[in-house]
Chain A
């Protein structure tokens, strides 16, 4: 099988030739370490080096840092950067409508404060959101897919509107407004979801293999809202996006989404990610839901990949392959992303372990 066939088979809950490996994000500084200091490699070069099967993240040779600089420079600059990206990107997430801060050490942006705190702030949508129909970004990305895909699966990073709503309102304001002004929450979510829906209609006409929707709704304790609230406030708007998707898709939320798992699964995704081990039991998930959805992730980022040894990585990855990979429908991935603080030797151990133990035999169990 090609890497792409391997991923698509697993997303359809089939049994590929080997348990695939993919990551929603790989920090560029880690990429450089994994590529022995080189910065001139392509997405496919890194995938080949690690045995990874899909990409949708950026690489240093694409000039990724410029995109975040644009976001920090304000909405107008960010809009222009969205239309005419100066770096190779497969990212179609809307900007946060928020005051942004920047870590002086890493340059990484973070949300300081959501700005959609009341009805008088709704005009900010026009200021911040780029036109989802602007053709330039789609044309550029189509060319990049054709140039870089080789035999790998390529995914677009998107949102369903939920994370945009929560981050742009602030979790505290979002929570209060569910009671104080529920229609405002719905209106804001609908605006973000309509934007993503418009984007997805364009993506459907492109050569992406699948979509990866990043919408955090939980912390390690539980989902932030209960099932009834999910049904009322999130799902109707998320469906505006998901109903249009003409590709398999992966749903991502950090944390423990168990309280609303039935509601989440009713959206009809192909796979869920990242199944944080400190928050969810992947073995229970596989037993209960493995017939409904592919499972992606669960290699621990809190300890194993970041502070553990290569031997510990091997033990954990091998166990997940054997127990969750059995019967197909599992894709190895970290429990969030390959962050810059993952030990390079542990990422390499992950690669070796997948190659050593991830190949399926005819009976459907990895060796």
Chain B
């Protein structure tokens, strides 16, 4: 019964049926199903499926967004039970578009995918200065710092942010990921970022891999 319930929740999140997913979560909790199982065996796998469908071109932005919203609301419903069970998010990420860049569509998609996959994301917004990133790293102690730039002009701001984090002595405390239309692996290496992701799900996958490698769940 519980396997069937979990599969149903998974399918409903994948297809973005928010109300149905919430009703199933309620039913699962009422039956005494462990909230952490609902999260780890239904919700997170559901967002992995959604991410894969988005990466492969089967899903477009709206399908991904309604699935992420169903996931987010289901997580909120589970929240009190998870807190009681000592659950913590996978890891924390700080995200923003770099100084001079006001294009936030890509950054918002990454944020949504990261949250849908169990990460806590602190969104610093657009046109974020190196100082604001340093302050956020000190304040939030994130595992990841994710930098977004859409135009060539602002790619150099990424270099400045990495250098500023180095100079502030907080560089080694974080993993820096970069993304955006004009970016490449080569550029990421050149500015000493830790990884480049070509799309939102690629970013989630890299974060997952890095966490597994490090074995660190903050």
Interface residues, chain A, with chain B CB atoms under 8 Å away = 101, 103, 105, 110, 171-172, 175-176, 178-179, 219-226, 229, 259, 276, 278-279, 301-303, 306-307, 339-341
B62 CB to closest chain A CB (Å) equals: 4
**Bound state CA distance, A131 and B185, in angstroms?**
49
Task: Let me know if A259 and B151 touch, CB within 8 A.
Answer: no
Within 8 A of A (CB), among B33-79: 57, 60-63, 65-66, 69
B108 located at the interface, meaning its Cβ lies under 8 Å from any Cβ of chain A in the complex: yes
Closest to A170 in B: B108
Closest to B99 in A: A105
**Bound state CA distance, A220 and B79, in angstroms?**
36
Q: Count residues on chain B whose CB falls below 8 Å from chain A CBs.
A: 25
B106 CB to closest chain A CB (Å) equals: 7
Task: Let me know if A341 and B105 touch, CB within 8 A.
Answer: no
By a CB distance below 8 angstroms, the chain A residues around B60 are: 222-226, 229, 259
- Contacts A103-B100, A259-B60 aside, 11 further interface pairs with beta carbons under 8 A come to A103-B127, A110-B126, A172-B108, A175-B66, A179-B66, A222-B60, A226-B60, A301-B152, A306-B152, A339-B153, A341-B152
B182 located at the interface, meaning its Cβ lies under 8 Å from any Cβ of chain A in the complex: yes
Closest to A106 in B: B100
A95 CB to closest chain B CB (Å) equals: 17
Within 8 A of A (CB), among B99-135: 100, 102-103, 105-106, 108, 112, 126-127
By a CB distance below 8 angstroms, the chain A residues around B194 are: none
By a CB distance below 8 angstroms, the chain A residues around B106 are: 219
7 A-B pairs in the complex with CB atoms less than 8 angstroms apart:
A172-B112, A221-B199, A224-B62, A259-B60, A302-B182, A341-B152, A341-B153
Contact A225-B151, Cβ < 8 Å, known A179-B16, A179-B66, A278-B181: no
Task: Let me know if A306 and B108 touch, CB within 8 A.
Answer: no
Closest to B182 in A: A302
Closest 7 CB pairs of A and B: A302-B182, A110-B102, A341-B153, A175-B62, A306-B152, A175-B65, A224-B61
**Bound state CA distance, A225 and B57, in angstroms?**
10
Task: Let me know if A341 and B151 touch, CB within 8 A.
Answer: yes
By a CB distance below 8 angstroms, the chain B residues around A276 are: 181
Task: Let me know if B152 and A303 touch, CB within 8 A.
Answer: yes
Task: Let me know if A171 and B102 touch, CB within 8 A.
Answer: no
**Bound state CA distance, A225 and B60, in angstroms?**
5
Interface residues, chain B, with chain A CB atoms under 8 Å away = 16, 57, 60-63, 65-66, 69, 100, 102-103, 105-106, 108, 112, 126-127, 151-153, 181-182, 198-199
Contact A179-B151, Cβ < 8 Å, known A103-B100, A171-B105, A302-B182: no
By a CB distance below 8 angstroms, the chain A residues around B62 are: 175-176, 178-179, 224-225, 229
Which single member of B63, B126, B152, B181 contacts A219 (CB below 8 Å)?
A: B181
**Bound state CA distance, A307 and B156, in angstroms?**
11
By a CB distance below 8 angstroms, the chain B residues around A341 are: 151-153
B165 CB to closest chain A CB (Å) equals: 22
Closest to A342 in B: B152
Task: Let me know if B69 and A176 touch, CB within 8 A.
Answer: yes
**Bound state CA distance, A101 and B105, in angstroms?**
16
**Bound state CA distance, A97 and B105, in angstroms?**
17
By a CB distance below 8 angstroms, the chain A residues around B102 are: 101, 103, 110
**Bound state CA distance, A89 and B109, in angstroms?**
35
By a CB distance below 8 angstroms, the chain B residues around A259 are: 57, 60
Closest to B69 in A: A176
By a CB distance below 8 angstroms, the chain A residues around B151 are: 339, 341
Closest to B127 in A: A103
By a CB distance below 8 angstroms, the chain B residues around A307 are: 152
Closest to B63 in A: A226
Which single member of B57, B65, B181 contacts A220 (CB below 8 Å)?
A: B181
Task: Let me know if B61 and A176 touch, CB within 8 A.
Answer: no
Task: Let me know if A105 and B108 touch, CB within 8 A.
Answer: no
By a CB distance below 8 angstroms, the chain B residues around A219 are: 105-106, 181
